[in-house]
Chain A
Amino acid sequence: MSEVDMAVIKPEMMKSYIWLQTADGSIQQVEQEVAMFCPMICHEIIQKGMGSSKNYAISLPQRVSPAMLSLILDYCRFHQVPGRSNKERKSFDEKFIRMDTKRLCELTSAADSLQLKPLVDLTSRALARIIEGKTPEEIREIFHLPDDLTEEEKLEPLKNTTDDPRIRLLNRLYAKKRKELKERQKQKNIEVEEERVDERSVDDLLSFINGENADSKGVATSKNKKKNRRRKDPQKSTSIDHATESPKKGSNGLGCLGTGGDNESHSTLSETSKLQDVEDDIFYHKVELDDVDIDDEIDPALKEEIDREVEDFARRLNSDWPERMQELLSLGQEKSPVHFSINGNGSLRKHQRDRWLRSEVTESMLLGGDEQMSKNEIQW
């Protein structure tokens, strides 16, 4: 029989298939014209003669999972047909890339390893649209990337080899925040202790009722303990709050000043000493307030107010902290080049990470801001 006859009778027999193997070991058959759409596969077939049988299946790169291969082959199957119009192709592409971001990334990676440039262009364009205009935090969320510094690590003091007053200030603020973190953790422990304290005070009361004189002291002690604790919190958080607020104002003021490193360091120094004064003021102010209450119970309304303030400061601190840090660091110009190396198994040493974080923040401020720099937000 002639070839043409055979084709009429059994068209499937004339189609040739290519064998492909993915990293998980599974092997599949794919129509040759579809598979050949991928330059990498094409190369394997033509240059190395692979793929013609199961035993000689073409090993695909590790990044090409069976799921990704399936998607890629769908793409190839459509586009390798010559007769399609541009409109058709465009329409297919638009529908094709409607998938979640994770898959888009995997697909980009897989298509790249198969050198399928049109698909790489399509997916990377879509990813670029997703990334455009987003902050680093948002990007981390979208792509499920861990924010891999712990609370404590973020508050590690930065190395201050040049004795930069801004870094000194920042480290002091970090120290305060670390203290607060510890306090919070202690509070959790204290809550357990508190019960014991209360029990004692109940005992005291009972003995008092039963008529023992020494107990008034005990009662007073427990009351003082409570009062002191209360006093500590608002004072601490207020001073932290002011500490973080002043630099913010300061950095705005400095931002408006002209150029010149000298100007900047002067102002910051005066800002630092101003800060000390502010802190001291707050301390005395709060002490006065509490002194009034020595013998009475704390007015519940005031207590509520203080509690609310503390909560508010804590919340603001947590959300504003990255921005505050950036503003502070933005005043500097990173003159020395940044080098960081990564250990063999991939972890960054702490001080190197510092440098990375610090320099990048500086740099992003320099590159990112708009012509009218917003006072409250760092515009990425």
Chain B
Amino acid sequence: MRIEEKAVAEMGDGEQQKMMWSRETIPRVMKIVGARLHQRDLVSLLLVSPWIHRALVSYSSLWLVLDFREKNKAGERLIAALSLPRYHHLKEINLEFAQDVEDRHLEVLRTEFHGTLQNLERLNLNGCQKISDKGIEAITSCCRKLKIFSIYWNVRVTDVGINHLVENCKHISDLNLSGCKNVSDKSMQLIANNYPELTSLNLTRCIKLTDVGLQQILLKCSLLQTLNLYALSSFTDKAYRTISNLPHLRFLDLCGSQHLSDEGLTCIAKCKDLVSLNLTWCVRITDVGVIAVAKGCRSLEFLSLFGIIGVTDKCLEVLSSCCSNTLTTLDVNGCIGIKRRSRDELLGLFPYLNCFKVHS
């Protein structure tokens, strides 16, 4: 049926109703439903009718996120999408494991969309391995209000890139550099000096880091709640001791910290708000350290002692008397020093346990 320009009054009742349905009722309903739909379905909806299109496009809260996870030609898609006015209030861009994202795409963003990205708060470049320091310079220069930045598994990022980050983005609260193996202590200094309010930091496998760099962070980023030092075996107690400087710490991953001793762990136990502690392969730890944690961290919910042979049943008893109300995950696989660690025996000590294996 061709919709011509005739007065609504001239139409029959049936047609009038049909028009109401397709031009008012449905678009209104789709606006409400749209908030629950993923990006793909939202775009499908846009193509259903011009009236739905108009209703949805004008509802800016539907268009705050661009999600190109795992898509190919993601760089081009991003540029094309940004040319559409409804994406000019973006808060988040997610390019995790997207393919074909290169520095030049980010540079186009800087030249063409400088104004439109100024409110971006969250940027995920995880797995975008072609991006280098240049790309970081480009994107950070047009997204100065960035709060959450993640670029894991990228070996092209160096201290130069981090320097661009700290120069351009002054409000970072959450930073993920997991797997960025070429980042050094210099970056730690830059981060420490520029982000005193950092709350989350992931340094997994940043193998160039030493005690010096880590200490900078621990001394100056005192608001940290999450700290991930997974697979970093070069730190020593010298730095570990300083973790006590973080009163708000809740999540701490020390998997593979082979030099961590009971002394260092006892200092860490001063972080009384700790909820999650991963001590997998911290092979120097004995009952002394674990008991200190039990007594200091009464809200502990998640604890892994995987592979620690120096701990015995004694530490479990103390742990039980202190944290049995809260502990829901406990991994004592490979802890041959603990004799009574069958599932039932553990449940006897910790009645709320529901997870017995963390490390595979």
Across the two chains, which residue of chain B brings its CB closest to A326?
B47
Measured CB to CB, the residues of A under 8 A from B are 63, 105-106, 108-109, 112, 120, 124-125, 127-128, 131-136, 139-140, 143-146, 148, 150, 153, 259, 333-340, 342-343, 345-348, 353, 356, 359-364, 366-373, 380
Interface of A is mostly: loop
Asked if B344 is an interface residue, CB under 8 A from chain A, the answer is no
User: Please, could you name 8 A-B residue pairs with CB atoms under 8 Å apart, sorted by A?
Assistant: A124-B32, A131-B33, A133-B41, A134-B44, A136-B48, A143-B48, A363-B81, A367-B77
Give the distance in Å from the alpha carbon of A169 to the alpha carbon of B149 in the complex. Answer: 44
Give the distance in Å from the alpha carbon of A309 to the alpha carbon of B6 in the complex. Answer: 43
Measured CB to CB, the residues of B under 8 A from A are 1-8, 18-19, 21-23, 25-26, 28-29, 32-33, 35-41, 43-51, 53-54, 70-73, 75-77, 79-81, 83-85, 99-100
Contact assessment for B36 and A105 in the assembled complex, using a CB-CB cutoff below 8 Å: no
Contact assessment for B71 and A370 in the assembled complex, using a CB-CB cutoff below 8 Å: yes
Give the distance in Å from the alpha carbon of A236 to the alpha carbon of B25 in the complex. Answer: 44
The minimal Cβ–Cβ distance linking A83 to chain B, given in whole angstroms, is 29
Contacts of B71 in A (CB 8 A): 369-371
Across the two chains, which residue of chain B brings its CB closest to A112?
B32
Q: Which 7 A-B pairs have the closest CB atoms?
A: A128-B36, A136-B47, A366-B77, A333-B80, A127-B33, A105-B29, A124-B33
Contacts of B28 in A (CB 8 A): 109, 112
Our pick among B23, B36, B37, B80 for the contact of A362 (Cβ within 8 Å) is: B80
The minimal Cβ–Cβ distance linking B33 to chain A, given in whole angstroms, is 5
Contacts of A380 in B (CB 8 A): 40, 43-44
Give the distance in Å from the alpha carbon of A92 to the alpha carbon of B204 in the complex. Answer: 48
Give the distance in Å from the alpha carbon of A366 to the alpha carbon of B40 in the complex. Answer: 10
Our pick among B18, B35, B43 for the contact of A367 (Cβ within 8 Å) is: B43
Give the distance in Å from the alpha carbon of A373 to the alpha carbon of B73 in the complex. Answer: 10
Contact assessment for A105 and B26 in the assembled complex, using a CB-CB cutoff below 8 Å: yes
Contacts of B22 in A (CB 8 A): 145-146, 148
Across the two chains, which residue of chain B brings its CB closest to A132?
B41
Contacts of B83 in A (CB 8 A): 333-337
Contacts of A368 in B (CB 8 A): 40, 43-44
The minimal Cβ–Cβ distance linking A107 to chain B, given in whole angstroms, is 9
Contact assessment for B1 and A146 in the assembled complex, using a CB-CB cutoff below 8 Å: yes
Of the candidates B8, B23, B36, B76, the one having the most CB atoms from chain A within 10 angstroms of its own CB is B36
Contact assessment for B80 and A363 in the assembled complex, using a CB-CB cutoff below 8 Å: yes
Contact assessment for B100 and A259 in the assembled complex, using a CB-CB cutoff below 8 Å: yes
